[in-house]
């Protein structure tokens, strides 16, 4: 399956606007990224991979969180940074 880049932008925006919780974001993003078979330019892949790794490491329960777990606030911060950079790249280079 290949995923249009705009799907990631919309998904990030939904989480940042709090329409999706971190748990819902994780539940959608992780399988979406894993099933995306499109080979993307490194600058795009690195952005998507950054937010994927954060979502995969997200653990809402502090009792279960290990040393590398990401909190909800950290996930929001990473998603915000990636969303901004991804929007710039999409706008400037017109990637799909």
CA distance 17 to 21: 9
Instruction: Give the CATH fold of the 5-93 domain.
Output: 1.20.120
CA distance 91 to 58: 29
φ/ψ (deg, to 5) at 57:
-85, -5
Q: 70 forms bridges with which residues in the sheet?
A: 58
Whole-number pLDDT of residue 15: 96
For the stretch 42-96, pLDDT in tens is 989 999 999 999 999 998 887 777 778 899 999 999 999 999 998 888 777 655 5
Count how many residues are written for the chain. 96
């Amino acid at each position: 399956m290949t995923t249009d880049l705009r799907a990631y932008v919309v998904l990030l925006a939904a989480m940042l606007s709090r329409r999706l919780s971190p748990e819902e974001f994780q539940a959608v993003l992780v399988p979406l990224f894993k099933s995306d078979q499109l080979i993307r330019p490194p600058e795009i892949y690195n952005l998507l991979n950054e937010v994927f790794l954060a979502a995969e490491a997200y653990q809402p329960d502090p009792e279960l969180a290990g040393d590398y777990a990401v909190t909800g606030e950290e996930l929001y911060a990473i998603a915000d940074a990636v969303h901004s950079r991804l929007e710039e790249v999409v706008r400037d280079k017109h990637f799909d």
